[in-house]
């Protein structure tokens, strides 16, 4: 925790605070790229209002926030609406601080591991090993990447509940790295009941804590299910009804709101014949949750939450994001306001954006695998006098 860290935090906060006060903030809050039915600030407000008026917010199809969050924030929303942006900024900064702490800890662990394994490494791999400077650099990179990422800044100033999710997830990773099982489980259970997809994080959790013993793994899984049930019951007592389950998890699973967003589902489901809907629903949801989980868990079982910084094609991915995001604005205008373009144009941009994300993830994974390989086998491998290539098959 040095002064640079605090300076960065302050700067990040200042950037968010500045943008909160410009007319950009309400505009971002309404942009589909940032505010989806799940996280939009407007819907949160609506939910809190309904909750305060004693109406079940989940009877309509508008509110998809979990009851605990609604009731926890209702005091703040009702009494100090002017301080809400600051509240969100503080949450975001907490997330950044947690990430910082997590990455400090993580790098330390990796260094310890490296010290153990050093003898097996090939000779010319010093630059791939963690140096003493990385201890400061990597956490700094992590925090800069979080604080000054335009997307997180926009989410924060648009006051989307993504900020809250990020905080919980950061806390989850922090606990995971620290090896604290119970808080980890609780946070994950809470997030799972809230927005379902974090359930995939059960895999790293199991891998970290079970330590290759099946019995422990089963015990943790049972604990997790119990945790989910506890959270669900706690949610139940807010309203004394189970409606919220359909309003949050059911909404996510059945994908009822086809409002376009930065993802791809909306387009598939608008184009689909209604009687195939169930089949595609299951296929897509499986695709989103299970399909990538299993192979990735197998491959990366040794170090589940990995943050590799040996990026090769970051530039291409960055350009992809830049172009697609700027195109999305233009195409949205043409589709919704000018009425000349149509959904296909916008979908093209979101498709390209997703492609960029896939590139980003494969790139990260590949960089990770490559680094591992090179550490043990050396940087320059010559096969028949030519430079060897790693081919993913």
Partner 1 sequence: MGLLSDPSISTQSKLVDGLARHVRKVCYALYVAGVAWFFCLALPEFNHGTYLSENALSPGLVYPEIRIDANRLAIQLLEELQRERKDHLSTTPHAWIAAKMNEFGLETHTHNYTLRYPFGGGKEYHGKNIYGILRAPRIASTEGIVFAAPYRAASSVHTDISASVPLLLAFADFARRKNYWAKDLIFLVTEQEQLGMQAWLEAYHDGDRDLDLSKAYLRPGNLPARAGSLQAALNIEVQDLEIDHVDVRIEGLNGKLPNLDMFNLVQRIMAREGIASGYKQAPRKKRRHSQSHFEQNLRQMLTMLASQSSGVPTGNHGLFHRYRIDALTIAANRRATHATLKGSPGSAAVPLLKAIEGIARSLNNLLERFHQSFFFYVIVNNDRYISIGDYMPALVALVACAFLKAYLTWSTLPATNAELEKAADWLREHEQEAELEENLEPDKFELPYGSVLIYLTATLLIGFLCNVLPLQQYFLEIPMGAAPLTTSVLSFLSLIGFVLPFVVVLPPGGLELLHVAFLLIYGCALIVIGLLNFALGFFAAVLTVPLVIALETKEENSRSTLRNTIRLATLVMNPMMVVYVIVLAMTFYQFPELSVQKIMLRAATAAMDASAYGLIDSVIYGNWLYFVICTIFLPLWIICWTLSLSKRRDYADYLDFDESPSTSPQPQSKVKTN
The Cα 231–Cα 22 span in angstroms is: 38
150 binds partner 1 (CB under 8 A): no
Instruction: Report the chain's C-alpha Rg in angstroms.
Output: 23
Per-residue tokens: 354: 């997703």
| Interface residue with partner 1, options 133, 215, 273, 384 (CB under 8 A) | 133
Binding mask 221-260 for partner 1 (x = CB under 8 A): ----------------------------------------
Residue identified by tokens 């006098």 is: 385
Task: Please identify, using beta-carbon distances, which residue of 54 and 339 lies nearer to partner 1.
Answer: 339
287 binds partner 1 (CB under 8 A): no
127 binds partner 1 (CB under 8 A): yes
363 binds partner 1 (CB under 8 A): yes
The Cα 330–Cα 215 span in angstroms is: 54
The Cα 302–Cα 184 span in angstroms is: 18
In the complex, the smallest distance separating the C-beta of residue 113 from partner 1, rounded to whole angstroms, is 21
| Interface residue with partner 1, options 177, 331, 347, 375 (CB under 8 A) | 331
The Cα 129–Cα 337 span in angstroms is: 53
The Cα 198–Cα 200 span in angstroms is: 5
In the complex, the smallest distance separating the C-beta of residue 339 from partner 1, rounded to whole angstroms, is 4
CA distances in angstroms from 109 to 106, 289, 310, listed in the order given: 5, 29, 18
15 binds partner 1 (CB under 8 A): no
| Interface residue with partner 1, options 149, 298, 362, 376 (CB under 8 A) | 362
Task: Please identify, using beta-carbon distances, which residue of 216 and 380 lies nearer to partner 1.
Answer: 380
Instruction: Report how many residues bind partner 1 under the rule CB under 8 A.
Output: 41
371 binds partner 1 (CB under 8 A): no
Task: Please identify, using beta-carbon distances, which residue of 236 and 366 lies nearer to partner 1.
Answer: 366
Query: Cβ distance 172 to 188 under 8 Å?
Result: yes
Query: Cβ distance 158 to 28 under 8 Å?
Result: yes
The Cα 274–Cα 356 span in angstroms is: 30
Per-residue tokens: 382: 């010559």
CB within 8 Å of 336: residues ≥ 6 apart: none
Which residues 374-393 are close enough to bind partner 1 by CB under 8 A? 374, 379-381, 387-392
Chain positions contacting partner 1, by CB under 8 A: 126-127, 131-133, 312-313, 315-316, 319, 322-323, 326-327, 329-331, 333-334, 337-342, 359, 362-363, 366-367, 370, 374, 379-381, 387-392
């Amino acid at each position: 925790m040095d002064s640079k860290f605090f300076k960065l935090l302050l700067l990040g906060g200042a950037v968010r605070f500045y943008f909160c006060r410009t007319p950009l903030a309400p505009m971002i809050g309404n942009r589909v790229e940032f505010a989806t039915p799940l996280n939009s600030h407007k819907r949160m407000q609506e939910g809190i209002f309904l909750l305060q008026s004693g109406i079940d917010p989940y009877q309509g199809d508008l509110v998809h926030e979990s009851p605990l969050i609604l009731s926890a924030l209702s005091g703040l929303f009702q009494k100090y609406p002017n301080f809400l942006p600051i509240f969100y900024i503080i949450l975001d900064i907490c997330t950044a601080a947690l990430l910082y702490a997590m990455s400090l800890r993580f790098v330390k662990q990796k260094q310890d591991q490296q010290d153990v394994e050093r003898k097996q490494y090939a000779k010319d791999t010093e630059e791939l090993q963690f140096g003493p400077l990385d201890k400061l650099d990597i956490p700094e990179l992590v925090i800069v990447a979080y604080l000054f990422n335009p997307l997180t800044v926009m989410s924060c100033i648009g006051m989307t509940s993504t900020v809250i999710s990020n905080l919980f997830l950061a806390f989850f990773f922090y606990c995971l790295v620290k090896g604290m099982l119970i808080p980890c489980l609780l946070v994950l259970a809470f997030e799972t009941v809230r927005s379902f997809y974090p359930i995939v994080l059960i895999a790293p959790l199991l891998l970290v804590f079970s330590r290759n013993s099946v019995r422990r793994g089963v015990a943790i899984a049972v604990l997790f299910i119990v945790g989910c049930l506890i959270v669900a019951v706690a949610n139940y007592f807010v309203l004394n009804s189970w409606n919220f389950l359909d309003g949050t998890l059911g909404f996510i699973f059945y994908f009822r709101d086809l409002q376009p967003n930065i993802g791809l589902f909306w387009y598939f489901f608008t184009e689909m014949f209604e009687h195939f809907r169930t089949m595609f629903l299951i296929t897509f949801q499986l695709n989103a949750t299970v399909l990538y989980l299993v192979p990735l868990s197998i491959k990366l079982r040794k170090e589940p939450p990995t943050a590799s910084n040996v990026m090769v094609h970051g530039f291409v991915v960055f350009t992809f994001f830049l172009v697609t995001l700027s195109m999305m604005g233009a195409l949205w205008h043409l589709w919704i306001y000018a009425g000349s373009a149509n959904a296909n144009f916008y979908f093209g941009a979101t498709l390209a954006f997703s492609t960029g994300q896939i590139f980003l993830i494969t790139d990260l994974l590949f960089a990770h695998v490559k680094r591992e390989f090179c550490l043990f086998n050396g940087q320059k491998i010559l096969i028949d006098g030519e430079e060897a290539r790693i081919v993913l098959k």
